[in-house]
A = this chain, B = another copy of it.
Amino acid sequence: MRALGRHLLAELYGCDTRVLNDKERIEQIMKEAASRSGATIVQSVFHLFNPHGISGVVVIAESHLAIHTWPEYGYAAVDIFTCGSDVDPWKAHEFIRKALGASHYSTVEMARGELGEGVSTHGSAETMRELRV
């Protein structure tokens, strides 16, 4: 059974708390990670919360990357969801993990869009999507 997408759910612990509360730096890291994975960036949105913590999403032509940081716990929840064989989500994962200075982490890869035998996924419609709007 072939899946349309790969989704990494990363739990990053023991991160650099200064980085976790630096909105510009986090946005830079997430966009660089998207590029390193081979993805095409469509749009990104990042927000700094009060008293602390950042939420950000990079929409890519191949799905999305997201991050939520809790500087008070040195923790970041990172999602890297990609589709298509041209993108390697683990390259983004390694870049983010190192850039945040995580001392330990726990990451799972989930298959998304597992289509049954009766549904053909031949061709590359899902990997060739272009931005229209």
Contacts and interface: CB of A to CB of B under 8 A. Distances in A.
Contact of A11 (B64, B112, B129, B132): B112
Main secondary structure, interface of A, reads strand
Nearest to A130: B50
B55 A57 contact: no
Interface in A1-36: 4-5, 7, 9, 11, 23
A39 to B, nearest CB: 12
A56 B125 CA distance: 18
Interface residues of A, number: 48
Interface of A: 4-5, 7, 9, 11, 23, 42-43, 45, 47-53, 55-57, 59, 61, 63-64, 66, 68, 70, 72-73, 75, 77, 79, 81, 83, 108, 110, 112-115, 119, 121, 125-126, 129-133
